[in-house]
Structure 1
Amino acid sequence: RFPRSQVLPYILAQLTGGIAAAAVVALLFGPGFGAHIPAGEDALRAVGIETLLTFLLMLVIMAVATDRRVGGTIPGLAIGLTVVLDVLIGGPVSGGSMNPARSLGPALFAGGAALSNYWIYIVGPVLGAISAARLFEAMRLDLQSAKNAPDSLARL
């Protein structure tokens, strides 16, 4: 559980880091590098893919990073492979961002359509993360209910 008092500072740190990284990339490669701009009707498709990608990533993170039975390098490997898979799937459609902080910096430096379409990279990841959290909590509650059930019910 993340302390509520640290949520806003954490978000601000993420956004600041994303902007700083984009500034370095803009100096090295020119403005707009790393900004993906879905065109026209592709905006809804991009929201959908960002929702799905973030959903998958967050579900894996919560499953492996919060389970005491999983140790060693398994969480990092599972999360890393999920990011690779997400980028391979979503890269051509939306850029495979999965993180509003990652998309803000390039959008600011590219301006124009990249900045006006930034909403995609807020809506999609937020919907995906919330959906994954709700599913994970529901699955965890079901497991806890099953563990607390009387033995006679467990045999059914």
Structure 2
Amino acid sequence: MKKKIFGEVFGSALLVFFGPALVIMGGGYNDLLGPSIGWGVLLAVLVYAFGPLSGAHFNPAVTFMNFLNKEMKGTETIIYIVSQLVGGLIGGFVLKFTYQAYVNGAGLKWSTEVAKNHLNATVFPNISAGMAFFIEVILTTVLLVVILVLNDPKTKTYNLQAPIAVGLTIALLVFAAGNLTGASMNPVRSLFPAIFAGGLAMQDIWVYLTAPFVGSIIGALIHRYILTEK
């Protein structure tokens, strides 16, 4: 179990740090191509690196779906989610500490810069909370279905390429919906940048804390009634 805990803590920390960092410290992006590729490559690398240890969930929605599919026991599910939260907290703290040093070194003002980028926390200034919730449910469901198919014993033909497929899926979803909701699909990914950024990022955080779990339920139903032959 210690290897699983290490994989989820360390992987979640890297996700929460490097994902937002590549956007807010990687230079100005005029479109979503750079961030989508960055997020996709990051996820592919993390899945390759930590998949052998923990299965590379890094996402309570993935863990909860596995629990619903009876692939994980309740105790293990709780341990995984707590590990992801601890990792997210560490990653968020390192993100804030590093970006604050970057802002100070560049002679900029923390409050002004964070008001612009929200530490890459996921926000939806152009649509309603209800629409943002719906979009996040759809995005999470798509991601989880891809994961289900890649891991299904009867369909995992390209097992070694699975992390690349997950990364490409993330990249496409970010490219498609990044300007709408930030394409989170992960409560941990949204929560900790929002905590350290505050302001707008925390106003409707409930959307990102609940929608992925609805996607988990839909994914579990698809697994039970479509992918499972019994």
* Superposed CA offset, 1:28-86 (max 9, x none): 22453121222375222211111111000000101112325424423212211111111
Is the 2:127–2:180 Cα contact (8 Å) retained in structure 1?
A: no
2:140 aligned to which of 54, 78, 85: 54
Matches of 1:49 and 1:114 in 2, distance apart?
17
Give the number of the structure whose alpha-carbon radius of gyration is greater: 1
Query: Does 2:155 align with 1:85?
Result: no
Is the 1:45–1:93 Cα contact (8 Å) retained in structure 2?
A: no
- Superposed counterparts of 1:97-112, under 5 Å: 97-112=184-199
Matches of 1:136 and 1:72 in 2, distance apart?
18
Select between 36-45 and 57-66 the one with higher mean Cα deviation.
Answer: 36-45
**What letter is aligned with 2:166?**
I
% identity of equivalent residues:
31
Residue aligned with 2:176, SS: helix
Residue aligned with 1:97, SS: coil
Matches of 2:95 and 2:126 in 1, distance apart?
27
Is the 2:146–2:166 Cα contact (8 Å) retained in structure 1?
A: yes
Select between 20-29 and 40-49 the one with higher mean Cα deviation.
Answer: 40-49
Matches of 1:41 and 1:96 in 2, distance apart?
13
Number of residue pairs matched by the alignment: 143
Uncovered stretches (5+) of structure 2, i.e. residues with no partner: 1-70, 101-113
Structure 1 segments, 4+ long, off by >6 Å, are: none
TM-score norm. by structure 2 comes to 0.57
* Residue 115 (structure 1) shift: 1.6
1:33 aligned to which of 119, 143, 154: 119
- Superposed counterparts of 1:1-150, under 5 Å: 1-30=71-100, 32-39=118-125, 41-67=127-153, 69-141=156-228, 144=229
Uncovered stretches (5+) of structure 1, i.e. residues with no partner: 146-156
Matches of 2:158 and 2:122 in 1, distance apart?
36
Alpha-carbon RMSD: 1.9
**What letter is aligned with 2:222?**
L
Task: Mark the CA change 1:112 to 1:73 in structure 2 (over 3 Å): closer, same or farther.
Answer: same
Is the 1:51–1:124 Cα contact (8 Å) retained in structure 2?
A: yes
Matches of 1:102 and 1:24 in 2, distance apart?
14
Matches of 2:183 and 2:127 in 1, distance apart?
17
TM-score norm. by structure 1 comes to 0.82
Is the 2:150–2:159 Cα contact (8 Å) retained in structure 1?
A: no
* Superposed CA offset, 1:100-144 (max 9, x none): 011111111112331231101022111112112211211124xx2
Matches of 1:91 and 1:40 in 2, distance apart?
12
Task: Mark the CA change 1:2 to 1:49 in structure 2 (over 3 Å): closer, same or farther.
Answer: same
**What letter is aligned with 1:138?**
Y
Residue aligned with 1:33, SS: helix
2:7 corresponds to which residue? Answer: none
